[in-house]
Amino acid sequence: MSSAISRNPILIAEGSQVLPATVRHLILDRDGVLNREPEDGSYVRTPEEFEWLPGALEALALLRRAGVRLTVATNQAGVGRGIVSPADLAAVHTHMQAKATAAGGALDAVLVCTHTPEAQCLCRKPAPGLVQTAIARSGIAAAETLLVGDDGRDLEAARRAGVAAALVRTGKGRRTEAQLSGADLVAYDDLLQLARVLAGDEPRAGR
């Protein structure tokens, strides 16, 4: 089995952007990429409120079989605002990791920024801190790393950290795609479509 997914560069937009030729590390946003965001715009506060998006677990398993390192990097300001306790957030992530492992898509790391936007920290996306930490801990070069998100702040964090990024149309993705219309952007319907592209099951980026 290969230790990474190696593909020819995939052209996007007007050909000015490409996915990494070799993807060894995916940095995944959580809400809107792996799980449904609460419709009222609040936070996932308990394991029972964590609802996987269709195909997300299958995608993680596909990527894991290909030897790709999987890191979740998520903003969770509900902790900083006192809405979600650190213990509750830990329980949600323990549940998430257990379900991913059971499905064959074990996560290598879960990195969280619990600060509010007002804190102006260096880790909260769109700041690059979480992404930089994920790269440093992985030991995998930024050139072989791809960030996957549904929000413009995910893409900006990737840009500022010097890594490639892909948008998924789940969560806020379709709205983000519309807002960034005309920009160089690689977009997929969901994480499973992206995983299949990286694995060679689908030949090109969605647009």
153: part of which helix (H) or strand (E)?
helix 152-161
Q: Is 190 a catalytic residue?
A: no
Structure tokens at 171: 């969560």
Rg of the chain over all Cα atoms, to the nearest angstrom: 16
Non-local CB neighbours of 112 within 8 Å, separated by 6+ positions: 73, 74, 75, 76, 79, 89, 93, 130
Helices 129-138/152-161 angle, 10° precision: 60
How many Å apart are CA 173 and CA 154, to the nearest integer?
A: 11
Residue in 188, 203, 171 with CA at minimum distance from that of residue 38? 171
Q: Is 151 a catalytic residue?
A: no
**Amino acid symbol at 56:** A
Q: Given 29, 150, 154, 190, which residue is catalytic?
A: 29
Q: Given 31, 88, 150, 190, which residue is catalytic?
A: 31
The helix/strand/coil state of 164 is strand
Active-site annotation, residues: 29, 31
